[in-house]
Copies of this chain bind each other. A is one copy, B any other.
């Protein structure tokens, strides 16, 4: 959970709601009920937690502690694919120690958002059972805590990172080689996000390439990747994903993850049309389905 202050070629927003968990949970909750773990400071608007509750998001795992909420200050220039961080105030996030409530320890599907891989592992260790683990990470952890990251990766089924991070993690310079190398580290499936150019997904049996939905007026790319992951993982959970299925029926997994990617792509296209979680807060399933149909028309061919 975070406050973001962000400037883009389209304008700026100060101290607005952000954070991976916000984008992820609003996206995922259109597919399945979800339970979140996060930390906020005393300055956080508790009304927002009520709002999430009404949206199918269990917020009992959100710790409200003394101090200020994490604050990210960043900007996007002409290249909307890459944010420049201007300032980061960790605040209460600095001593974040995720504690899963008893109600959270047997979720079948887990998403580990981009935090310290040691904390990601701690979360997994608290789970009694889990059938499928998805994870995000970033250059900061790849270079800063490579050993911890690689340890956590061993328990991960699906890794969702961007192109540069994939190259950094694998020490390779091309997508396929990078993905194949990361697959030897644990995750059987790697989603490589390419910003406005879409994504590439590497499974045990194939490769799926998906363009991004065309958005002419991008307002703010913040949260595109998190809401993409939210829709992907939410859709997978809704369809009963588990790692046995990935192993035993790779053809079914191939089809399931491709559909999930389509939902993720469409979800991200909404996110970037407003600052903060503005668009996600009002997004309906009908709107999502309508744009999904539009997107399918854009990438279909008869051959």
Contacts and interface: CB of A to CB of B under 8 A. Distances in A.
Interface of A: 174-177, 194, 197-198, 200, 206-212, 214-218, 255, 258-259, 261-262, 296-303
A258 B301 contact: yes
B200 A207 contact: no
Dominant secondary structure at the A interface: mixed
A62 B209 CA distance: 41
A214 B217 CA distance: 29
Contacts of A217: 174
Contacts of A298: 206-209
Contacts of A218: 174
20 contacts: A174-B218, A175-B216, A177-B216, A194-B197, A197-B198, A200-B211, A200-B214, A206-B297, A207-B214, A209-B211, A209-B212, A209-B298, A209-B299, A210-B211, A210-B299, A255-B301, A258-B302, A259-B302, A262-B301, A262-B303
A303 B259 CA distance: 7
Contacts of A175: 214, 216
A194 B209 CA distance: 14
Contacts of A177: 216
A299 B302 CA distance: 12
Closest 4 CB pairs of A and B: A209-B211, A197-B197, A258-B301, A174-B216
Contacts of A198: 197, 209, 211
Contact of A301 (B197, B208, B212): B208
Contact of A255 (B174, B296, B302): B302
A261 B174 CA distance: 23
A299 B210 CA distance: 7
A207 B255 CA distance: 24
A9 to B, nearest CB: 9
A216 B176 contact: yes
